[in-house]
A and B are shown apart, each in its own frame.
Chain A
Amino acid sequence: MVQDVTGAAVLYPSRSIYLETVEGLKLDGHEMLSDLCAVDYQAHMDRALPAGVLPERFEVAVVLVSMSRATRARIRVQVPESDPVLDSLFGLYPGVDAMEREAFDLFGIWFDGHPDLTRILMPEDWEGHPLRKDYSIGRVPVQFKSAPGPR
């Protein structure tokens, strides 16, 4: 276990023990999940990770808070590009619902076991996942449906 500058514990479980790790932390007194977000490390693969953790393209960071001890724990789990699937924490923390939907919407990470994994911020028929690093800004030209065409 590593501590960051704010004193929060940082854990790096593998995907297979991700759910168990979070469950263990919940039993350990982390009552609330305060944040879940994904990061696309495609352009920053040489980031510092503890020995034994293989860097993958995606990373999901979960912030748990123990209200009784007033401490935070952060879980950073690596998610490979070829199979961006992760277990959903919905069964443990129902409050993760919107956050997992957001990570799915903007990064295309699939959360197994999430009951309603649909787009939350982007339009339902949107193609692609905008916060991925290979999704460039301004790639989609602005179109007006009723515009008469080039003048």
Chain B
Amino acid sequence: MNDDSDHSLDPLAPRVDETSEGLQELEPVQETPAAELAVEMGGSLRLPEGIELDRNDFDFETSEDQTMIINMGPQHPSTHGVLRIMMELEGETVLRSKPVMGYLHTGMEKTAEELTYVQGCTNVTRMDYLSPLSNELVFSLATEALLGVEVPERATWIRMLMCELNRISSHLMWLATNGMDLGATSMMIYGFREREMVLAFFEKTTGLRMNHNYIRVGGVAADLPDGWQEDVALICDTIPGRLYEYDELLTGQPIFRERTEGVGVISAEDAVALSATGPILRASGVAWDLRRSMPYMFYDALDFDVISRTQGDTLARYEVRIDEIRESVKIVRQILEKMPYGDYRAQDKKVTPPPRARIDESMEALIHHFKIFTEGFKVPAGEVYVAVESPRGELGCYMVSDGRSKPYRMHIRGPSFVNLQSLPAMMRGGLMADAVAIISSVDPVMGEVDR
């Protein structure tokens, strides 16, 4: 437990001494205070009040042998970016582990306070770079909730279409990297190949393969391109067949099963207590999907299943993701049928710039356009928390406005950031080699973890 006697003296003083490297480092299990062991196991949740923690209560099966503390990362091919994991090993068994992050911290929340709501989407889209459209969506939904702008139906359906396609591409990317982490190198090539189809459609629609800035406050940046139905239908026709091939390649393959089955198990109680969301939570038996449980946009008008498994291991998380691709394809097919005609952005002069053609003929339109892109629009004072289901879990945006055209505070609840907390619980007692599989199964995107 931290010594909290000195902080009351001058609470505003920077606590550099308390954040020295000494406190950050992992210590051998014998020298670690009981409270810190409890952190790693979520033990304090289950302890009745007033009971003194005793380090003997923890069933760390330690022999007299000396343990070894090693760092995995931050530069390690299997840590998906710059994640560093400190592990205490006994032989090849991971006794304890602790994720260390912050290597990619770029202060996007601070940056957001300096950008207008029009520019804000370009900032948030770079957080979770594998599902940029979810980020734009949650930012736009939060701003629209404060503004009270009604988004046209077609714009909402386009948003859903793009987000589901993004879920497919994100999960395919996960399948690819997961395959590579486990040594199934061919899976990597296949995953990238199928993802390319989706990215090509994104490029056609938004102009970019990632960091689209496509979903904006009030609607989307542009209507879907001509012939989008054929492109989307082609994706929907191709991907299920390819998924069947992946099933052949991985799901039934003994080596793959050996490396994933029963590895990194997390129980439903632990997952909920550790605030894990997304495939991790669903793989442990809790069918919690914001698209179904707390529907936003028009997800309640669609027919899809919430995929869940009960094993809570790495294989279950793999199965949840691969089945979620199938469900997303199902959703995309329904959106294809239900896509209404209409406007792709709100015709609210406050938030929507005039059409490009008008700028050439009308001085007022030019001024209007200039005003929106330089000053932005003012958002009524207030605060709101909006959450959507990103491919990684609950992606939330807490937005505070003070009535100006820039967010007073914008906080993104990154699902990867929170999900990483479940890593020590999953890795405990496993093999060092399994750690790679487990990190991969959490699917952390470091851009979102560090923001």
Q: Do A and B come from one complex?
A: yes
Residue A25 at the B interface, CB < 8 A? no
CA distance A97 to B424 in the complex (A): 13
Q: Give the size category of A's interface with B.
A: 35 or more
CA distance A72 to B276 in the complex (A): 16
Are B408 and A125 in contact, with the CB atoms below 8 A? no
In the complex, per-residue mask of B379-409: 1 if CB is within 8 Å of any chain A CB, else 0:
0011111110000001010101010000011
Q: How far is the CB of A98 from chain B (nearest CB, A)?
A: 5
Contact of A110 among B7, B35, B394, B411 (CB under 8 A): B7
Residue A147 at the B interface, CB < 8 A? no
Are B21 and A33 in contact, with the CB atoms below 8 A? no
Q: Which residues of A contact B272 (CB under 8 A)?
A: 31-32, 67
Q: Which residues of A contact B400 (CB under 8 A)?
A: 39, 44
CA distance A44 to B275 in the complex (A): 31
Do A117 and B418 contact each other (CB < 8 Å), given the known contacts A93-B273, A137-B114? Answer: no
Are B24 and A37 in contact, with the CB atoms below 8 A? no
Closest to B35 in A: A115
Residue B42 at the A interface, CB < 8 A? yes
Do A131 and B8 contact each other (CB < 8 Å), given the known contacts A70-B293, A94-B42? Answer: no
Closest to A112 in B: B4
Contact of A119 among B19, B114, B273 (CB under 8 A): B19
In the complex, per-residue mask of B1-42: 1 if CB is within 8 Å of any chain A CB, else 0:
110100110011011101111011000000000011011001
Are A47 and B402 in contact, with the CB atoms below 8 A? yes
SS class, residues of chain A in contact with chain B? loop
Q: Which residues of B contact A115 (CB under 8 A)?
A: 1-2, 35-36, 38-39, 44
Are A63 and B396 in contact, with the CB atoms below 8 A? yes
Are B44 and A63 in contact, with the CB atoms below 8 A? no
Do A121 and B276 contact each other (CB < 8 Å), given the known contacts A34-B394, A35-B398? Answer: no
Are B44 and A90 in contact, with the CB atoms below 8 A? yes
Q: Which residues of A contact B408 (CB under 8 A)?
A: 39, 43-44
Closest to B1 in A: A115
Residue B335 at the A interface, CB < 8 A? no
Are B145 and A5 in contact, with the CB atoms below 8 A? yes
Do A127 and B14 contact each other (CB < 8 Å), given the known contacts A34-B396, A95-B273, A116-B36? Answer: yes
Q: Which residues of B contact A37 (CB under 8 A)?
A: 398, 411, 413
Contact of B102 among A97, A119, A127, A128 (CB under 8 A): A119
Are A116 and B11 in contact, with the CB atoms below 8 A? no
Are B39 and A97 in contact, with the CB atoms below 8 A? yes
Are B16 and A121 in contact, with the CB atoms below 8 A? no
Q: How far is the CB of A27 from chain B (nearest CB, A)?
A: 14
Q: Which residues of A contact B398 (CB under 8 A)?
A: 35, 37, 61, 63
Closest to A135 in B: B110
Interface residues of B (CB under 8 A from A): 1-2, 4, 7-8, 11-12, 14-16, 18-21, 23-24, 35-36, 38-39, 42, 44-45, 101-102, 105, 107, 109-110, 114, 145-146, 148, 272-277, 286, 288, 293-294, 381-387, 394, 396, 398, 400, 402, 408-409, 411, 413, 417-418, 420-421, 450-451
Would you give 17 A-B contacts (Cβ < 8 Å), ordered by A?
A37-B411, A39-B383, A39-B409, A48-B381, A61-B398, A63-B396, A91-B45, A94-B42, A95-B274, A98-B417, A99-B418, A110-B4, A115-B38, A120-B101, A123-B102, A124-B20, A125-B20
Top 7 nearest A-B pairs by Cβ distance? A95-B275, A37-B411, A44-B402, A35-B413, A121-B102, A94-B42, A121-B105
